[in-house]
């Protein structure tokens, strides 16, 4: 059975000289747990959409990642989360932005896709819809971690809006998953707390279909992580689809061109994970590292910096 899954836990990694072996071990264990959750769905014959939701839910529940429970603080001291997903078979998509208190934003994005006539719901309206759909909420304390609070206080002091970075003691970032199921179906999902100390209702690429997330069975499924403004301006996920569809690029050629050429030359730091219709996986990044993992042809592997284990 030719099934593939790739996940990421963000491109804002801790510089190597600050990473302890213990911390690195924890990162690999957390990534492996999320991979296992998604792979379990695929090997039991489940579809790509259910697999990416299972993997992203696991990452959202982990306090170390900047999504769901571990989301960063915005300038008001709150957690405003964004998420999206796309099904490459039906080409349906769902997304939420600027939501508070929803335990698993990726699951709310699925509700939007399946039970509303819309693609993207924001803020209070999205939260009202979540209550109607009986999606789980969690209290403020669930989203509070002292590490994130410290990161937020430092960012406030310097009046900066930040990706997850080491000097702020935050080893991990946005999360995402892409999958190919046994019937050739592709799906992608991405979820984030955005950028620390973000203001004025800022929304990044994560909930924007085509920028942070894309899936089409003809070509690929893509989930991005990095400095969202660059990914939005370059419509990164959809750009990879276009290079494959209109220029016959392979998945890895398209990913390389976008991440290590187009994005890099404009200063857009980050990376992405992608899977094509045959189940090939590509995971390029132009940052120092990217928390990531994949399952392909029965092999499972995770990585933080250049090498995979
Ligand atoms: N892309 C996300 C954003 O700009 C951040 C990240 O990937 O860490 O909101």
Tell me the pLDDT tens digit for each residue of 48-107.
999 999 999 999 999 888 999 988 888 888 889 999 999 999 999 999 999 999 999 999
Considering only CA atoms, which residue is closest to atom 9 of ligand 1? 194
Q: What is the pLDDT of residue 173?
A: 78
Ligand 1 atom with the shortest distance to the CA of 212: 1
Q: Which entry of 174, 190, 196, 302 is annotated as an active-site residue?
A: 174
pLDDT recorded at residue 166: 42
Q: Which residues have any ligand 1 atom within 6 Å of their CB? A: 10, 12, 66, 163-164, 173-174, 192, 194-195, 204-206, 225-226, 228
Per-residue pLDDT reduced to its tens digit, 204-219: 999 999 999 999 999 9
| Rounded-to-integer distance, Cα 304 and Cα 127, Å | 34
> Does the active-site annotation cover 225?
no
Average pLDDT score, the chain: 92
Residue nearest to atom 4 of ligand 1 (CA): 228
- Tell me which of 13, 206, 232 to substitute to probe ligand 1's pocket, judged by most ligand atoms within 8 Å of the beta carbon: 206
Q: Which carries the bigger pLDDT value, residue 205 or residue 163? A: 205
Strands (E), 155-305: 175-180, 186-192, 213-215, 220-226, 270-276, 281-282, 292-296, 299-303
Mean pLDDT of 35-45: 97
Q: Residue 106 C-alpha to ligand 1 middle, in angstroms?
A: 15
* Interval 286-308 mean pLDDT: 93
Q: pTM for the full model?
A: 0.93
Residue 275's SS3 state is strand
Pairing status of strand 292-296 against strand 4-8: antiparallel
- pLDDT of amino acid 1: 57
Cα 50 to averaged position of ligand 1 atoms, centre (Å)? 23
Query: 238-275 pLDDT, tens per residue?
Result: 999 999 999 999 999 999 999 999 999 999 999 999 99
Residue 75 has a pLDDT of 81
> Does 120 score more than 60 pLDDT?
yes
Q: How confident is the model at residue 147 (pLDDT cuts 50, 70, 90)?
A: confident
Query: 164: pLDDT confidence band, cut at 50, 70 and 90?
Result: low
Higher pLDDT, 220 or 298: 220
pLDDT of residue 154: 77
pLDDT, tens digit, 9 for 90 and up, residues 168-202: 444 357 999 999 999 999 999 999 998 877 888 89
Residue 207 CA to ligand 1 centre (angstroms): 10
Torsion of CA 254, 215, 4, 292, to 10 degrees: 70
Distance 118 CA to ligand 1 centre (A): 23
User: What separation in Å is there between the alpha carbon of 226 and the centre of ligand 1?
Assistant: 5
Contact 109, 85 (CB under 8 A): yes
The minimum-distance atom of ligand 1 relative to the CA of 203 is: 9
């Amino acid at each position: 059975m030719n099934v593939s899954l790739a996940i990421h836990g963000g491109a804002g990694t801790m510089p190597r000289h600050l990473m302890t072996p213990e911390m690195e071990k924890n990162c690999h264990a957390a990534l492996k747990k999320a991979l296992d959750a998604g792979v379990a769905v695929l090997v039991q014959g489940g579809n790509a959409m259910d697999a990416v939701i299972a993997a992203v839910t696991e990452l959202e529940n982990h306090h170390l990642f900047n999504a769901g429970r571990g989301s960063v603080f915005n300038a008001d001291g709150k957690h405003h989360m964004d998420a999206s997903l796309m099904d490459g078979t039906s080409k349906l998509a769902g997304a939420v932005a600027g939501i508070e208190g929803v335990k698993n934003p990726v699951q709310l994005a699925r509700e939007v896709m399946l039970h509303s006539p819309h693609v993207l719901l924001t803020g209070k309206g999205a939260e009202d819809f979540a209550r109607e759909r009986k999606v789980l909420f969690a209290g403020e304390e669930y989203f509070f971690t002292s590490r994130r609070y410290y990161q937020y206080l430092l960012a406030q002091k310097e009046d900066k809006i930040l990706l997850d970075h080491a000097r702020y003691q935050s080893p991990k970032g946005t999360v995402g998953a892409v999958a190919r199921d046994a019937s050739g179906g592709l799906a992608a999902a991405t979820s984030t707390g955005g950028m620390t100390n973000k203001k004025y209702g800022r929304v990044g690429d994560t909930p924007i279909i085509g920028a942070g997330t894309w899936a089409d069975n003809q070509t690929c499924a893509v989930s991005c992580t990095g400095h969202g403004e660059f990914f939005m301006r370059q419509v990164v996920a959809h750009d990879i689809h276009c290079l494959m569809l209109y220029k016959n690029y392979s998945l890895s050629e398209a990913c390389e061109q976008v991440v290590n050429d187009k994005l890099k030359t404009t200063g857009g730091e980050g990376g992405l994970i992608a899977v094509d219709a045959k189940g090939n996986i590509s995971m390029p990044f132009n940052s120092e590292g990217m928390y990531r993992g994949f399952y392909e042809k029965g092999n499972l592997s995770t990585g933080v910096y250049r090498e995979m284990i």
